[in-house]
Chain A
Amino acid sequence: MTPDRQVRWPDGSDHAVLVTVNYEDVEYLLAQDPDGTRRHKSQSVFQYGSVRGVPALLAAFAGADVAATWFVPGRLAETRAPQIRDIHAAGHEIAISGYAYEQLDEIPDAAQTEVLRRARDAVADVTGTPPAGFRLQRGDWPVGLSARLADLGFAWSSSLIGEDLPYLLPAGESRQLVELPRNYTCSDRLAFFWNFSPPFPPGQSRIGSYAGALENWRFELAAGRVERLCTVLELHPEVIGTPGRRGLLDELLTGEPLAARTWTPTGSALAHWWRRHQPNNAPSHPVEVLVASTHRTAL
C-alpha cells in the first residue's frame, strides 16, 4: 500500500509529463536483423525518422513550448551528427540507449560498461555535454546495471514499467539513480508501428486506430493530472512524424489536459527535482521489496 500523499510539483503544476523520443534510425533494425545492412526498404522505414520525423517533432515541440528528452544509440551521434546538434540546439536533452541498440542482458558486465562509456563519449563529442540519462530498450535489467551507470556519471534512467511516479534505484555505495518510469500505453510504437522484417508486432497484428490510441493517451494523461502523477510519453520520429499522425501529437501537446498547469521538464530536470524534494521509496515499493529479498545493494 502506498500513502495517499500527493506530489506538489514545481510552480503550482498539477502534473508532470516527460515527453520522450526514442530516436534510433537504422540502429533499431541493424541490431535485431543480421541482414539489416542489405534491407534497404526496411532501412528506409527508419530513415524516414531522420529525414522527416525529426524536423516534424522539433516543430511540434517548438509550437507547444515543450522540452523533450531524446534517447539515442550513441552511434547516432556519429552517423546523424547534424540531427543530434539540431535537437540539442533546440533546447532538448540527449540521453542514450546503448551504443548500437545492444541488448545489455546478453553481454558481460564489463562489456556493458564499455557500451555505455562509448555511447556517453560519442554524444558528448557532438553536444559538448556528457549525457546523464539512460533508457534500457531491450531485454531485462541486468543485475548491477544501476551501479555501472552511476560509475559512468549517469544520474537517472527511464526504463522500467510499473510505477506512476519517479522513484530511486539503489546503485551501490549509497548511490541512487532516479528512475522515471514509463508505461506500455503511452507509446506510439506499440500503438502504430508495423514492419515486415523483422516483424513488428511479432504476430504482425493490425495497426491500431489513431483515434483509439489518442483516446487512451488522453485517459492516462487526464487521470495523471487528477492524481498529480508523472506521465511518460514515448514517441518515435518514424512513427509519429508522418503527416497524418503528426496531427495526433499536436492535438495532444496543445489540447487539454496538457495545455495548462503541466510541468514538462527534461529528464535531467525532473530527476534532479525528484532527488532534492521527494522522500525515499516506501518500504512496500516493489523495488525495495526486490532488493531486500535478494540482499542486493544495487539494482
Chain B
Amino acid sequence: MIVADADRPFAWPGAARSAVLLGFDLDGPTGARLQGEAIWRSTRSFLEGGYGPFRGLPRLLRLLDDLGLPATFFVPAWIVETWPDAGASILEHGHEIAGHGYRHENFFDLTVDQQHEVLGRSQEVFRRHFGRAARGFRTPSGDWHPQTPRLLLEHDYHYSSSLRSDHRPYFHRLADADHDLLEIPARVDLDDYAYFAYATQPPYPPAGDRIASYPAVMDNWRREFEGHHRVGGCLATVWHPKVSGTPGRALALRGLLDPISEQRDVWFATGADIDGWVRSQPLEPTSVVSR
C-alpha cells in the first residue's frame, strides 16, 4: 500500500516549477508475445519491432539533439546485445540508458529466482557494454511482482519509473532495506501505445481501433504538460521508438516539444538526474510503501 504525503511542498532545481522525464522504452522486437526463441520465428513481428532500434531511435536522437533535451531510454539488455551500436549511441548523445528486463519479461509472472536471474543477467550486460550497472529500471509488460522493488535494490538499481500513483517522485520504503528505491511515476496517459500502437493478425489493439489523430494526441499531451507544470509535478513519458519514431509522429512530437523546451521554468532531466536531485533534498518528498 502506498500512502502519499500529497501536501508536502516539492522543490525543483533553480527556478524550475516542474520537471519532465522524457522516458523512451526501446523494446525492439521483444515483448510478451515473443519470449525465448519465438523472437526469431515471426518475420513480420521481428521486422516491425526492429524498426525501433534501427530507424526510430536515430530519428528521436536527432530530434532530442535539435531541441537540446535529455532523455532516459529504458532498454532490455537483449537489445543492447543485438544492436550494440544503438545502446552506445544513446550514451554518445548524452542520454541515460536504464534497465527494462532482459527480453521485456513480465515480472508479475516470474518467480523470485527468475527475477534474480533476469536482473543479474541484465546488469551484467550493462556492465560489460557500458562499464557500469543501470541506475534506473522500468518494469516491462504490465505489473511487477510484489518482491520486485526489493530485488531491484539488491541488483544495484536506484530508481524505478514503473508505477502510477502520483505525479511526482516518491520513495518505496522497504522494511529491512538500508536504503530506499525512488519511484518516478509514469502515466499511461503519456504512453504512446494507448494511442498509436497498431498491428494486424493478431490485431493490436485487439478490437482493431483506429490509429489516433496525431494532432489530437499532441493536444492531450500538451494539456498534461500544462497540468503537471501547474501543480509542480514531474511528468514522465512512456514513448516507444518503434511507435513514436515514425517520420510523421516524430514530426508531431517536435511540434509538441519545441515550445515546451523553450520554457525556462521546466526542468528536463534524466531519471538519474531526478534521482540525484531528490536524494539531495533535506525533506523527503513523499510516500511510504508498506505491505
Contacts and interface: CB of A to CB of B under 8 A. Distances in A.
A223 B209 contact: no
Interface in A183-206: 183-185, 190-191, 200-206
B215 A215 contact: yes
Interface in A57-105: none
Interface residues of B, number: 49
A282 B83 CA distance: 12
A15 B53 CA distance: 23
Nearest to B209: A205
B169 to A, nearest CB: 32
A286 B213 contact: no
Contact of B47 (A201, A204, A213, A287): A287
Given A1-B58, A139-B201, A222 B251 contact: yes
Given A205-B207, A208-B210, A215-B214, A286 B248 contact: no
A237 interface: no
Contact of B58 (A4, A139, A191, A213): A4
Contacts of A299: 43
A2 B250 CA distance: 16
Contacts of B55: 2, 162-164
A223 B248 contact: yes
A272 interface: no
B75 to A, nearest CB: 13
A162 B51 contact: yes
Chain B contact residues: helix, strand, loop or mixed? helix
B54 interface: yes
A19 B249 CA distance: 21
Contacts of A207: 210
Contact of B85 (A161, A200, A284): A284
B251 A223 contact: yes
Interface string B56-89: 0111001000000000000000000011011001
B51 A286 contact: yes
Q: Which of B199, B213, B249 has the most chain A CB atoms inside 10 A of its CB?
A: B213
Interface string A263-299: 0000000000000000000101111011001100001
A203 to B, nearest CB: 2
A31 B65 CA distance: 49
A208 to B, nearest CB: 4
Contacts of B246: 164, 183, 185, 220, 223
Contacts of A209: 213
A201 B209 contact: yes
Contacts of A1: 53-54, 57-58, 83, 85-86, 89
Given A1-B89, A162-B50, A219 B40 contact: no
Contacts of A231: 247
B216 interface: yes
A293 B40 contact: yes
A212 interface: yes
A141 B44 contact: yes
A211 to B, nearest CB: 8
Those 3 A-B pairs whose CB atoms lie nearest each other, nearest first:
A203-B207, A286-B50, A201-B208
Interface of A: 1-2, 4, 138-141, 143, 160-164, 183-185, 190-191, 200-209, 212-213, 215-216, 218-224, 226-227, 229, 231, 282, 284-287, 289-290, 293-294, 299
Interface of B: 29, 40, 42-51, 53-55, 57-59, 62, 82-83, 85-86, 89, 198-201, 203, 205-216, 242, 246-252
